[in-house]
Structure formats: structure tokens, C-alpha cells
Amino acid sequence: MSTTTPTDDGCGLRERKKRETRRAINLAALDLVEEKGFASVTTDEIATRAGVSARTFFNYFPSKEAAVIGTTPEELEAYAASLEQATPGESPVDSLRRIIAEMLAPGTIDKQLRAKRRRILLGEPSLAPALVGNNIRIENALTAALERRLGVAPGASLEPRLTVAVALAAVRACIEHQQQGGSGRLERNIDQAFDSIAAGLR
């Protein structure tokens, strides 16, 4: 509990090792996917390359997909908090646009990992199902945060969930567009997509 662990954040050896292990698994997963494709990689392989046992792999990530994506629950919490207490003049969609940009290039990881993630994300079409599966948790967390920000009870209004779902769908569409050799650059397309959404789709 937090009452007994004075070094809950990131000081102790324990916490550091955990972060390193998580990173090693994520890195091994990304490398292996790049080498062999997502479907041909086994969790055993990832664990071995990361230097942990097969069982430990699942102590860090609940699924093979999650190990490739690599987002931590802490990051997700931070995004939700950021959405909940956004700057006053910012519309929900604008907040989401900003937060999603941060999700795609989080400042909490080094450049090496960031570049690798980006490369795999855009290069592996077979990762699309993994992406959407992951999005469900994100969507629920962000929806709850937006509901709190708007001061509505959970489920009272359709709007928060709709806004979050549409925003995430737009990003996913841009990623898949890239994966299939589509035109443009990712960030630019995302900007365009949010502009289209704000202007109204027909």
C-alpha cells in the first residue's frame, strides 16, 4: 500500500527494475514484430528475448497486443486527467486532439522507443485489430473523464461517449490509411480529420 511504500513513484530499485523490464518486453515485442510480422511472433519468443520467463510476460502485459502497443495504465490515467481538467476555453474535441497528439508521441519515453513504435504502428497492417481492442479501455477512460468535466452523470448523455469514440475513430482511420500506403503524413492527416469533424461530415 501507499502507506508502507515511501518510494511509490520512481526512486527505489524495485520501481526502476519494473520500468526497465516493461520497456525490455515492449522493445523485444516491437523488434520481433518488425522481423517476422505480428502473427508469427509468440509470447514465448518475446519473453525470451526480453530476458524474462514466459509467465512474467503476462505479469506485465495482459496480451500480446498490449505488449506491442506498450501503453501503460499510468499514461492512460494521465491522459484522462488531462482531459478532465482542460483549459477553460478549449472544446472537448480540441482537448482530445491535443491529448491524442501526446499519445502518439509521449514525452515519457526515449526517442529510440518512440521511433520504433511509430515505425511498427504504421508498418504493420495486421496490428489493426490489436489497435481497436486497445482502444476500448482508452475510450472508456476518456469518456468517464469527459463526463466528469462536463458535469454529467455517467450514461446520462450520449454526447461524451460519441465525442470520444469519433475522435479515436478518426485517429485510427488515419493510421490505417497510412498502413495501406495512403497519401499524406500522419500528423497532417490527423489535423485534416479533426478539421473535417469540426466542420461536419456529409
Partner DNA sequence: TGCAATTTTGCAGTGACTGCACAATCGGCG
Partner DNA sequence: CGCCGATTGTGCAGTCACTGCAAAATTGCA
Shortest Å, Cβ 26 to DNA: 14
Instruction: Indicate whether 123 belongs to the interface with DNA (CB under 7 A).
Output: no
Which set of grid coordinates corresponds to residue 28? 523485444
Shortest Å, Cβ 96 to DNA: 28
Report the distance separating Cα 37 and Cα 181, nearest Å. Answer: 17
Contacts of 94 (CB under 8 A, 6+ apart): none
Instruction: Indicate whether 92 belongs to the interface with its own copies (CB under 8 A).
Output: yes
Which set of grid coordinates corresponds to residue 66? 498490449
Q: Which amino acid is at 116?
A: K
Instruction: Indicate whether 161 belongs to the interface with its own copies (CB under 8 A).
Output: yes
What is the DSSP-derived secondary structure letter of residue 3? T
Instruction: Indicate whether 37 belongs to the interface with DNA (CB under 7 A).
Output: no
Shortest Å, Cβ 6 to its own copies: 38
3-state secondary structure 135-165: HHHHHHHHHHHHHHHHCCCCCCCCHHHHHHH
Interface residues with DNA (CB under 7 A) are 1, 4-7, 12-14, 17-18, 21, 41-44, 52-56, 58-60, 62-65
Interface residues with its own copies (CB under 8 A) are 91-94, 128-129, 132-133, 135-136, 154-159, 161-166, 168-170, 172-174, 176-177, 180-184, 189, 192-193, 196-202
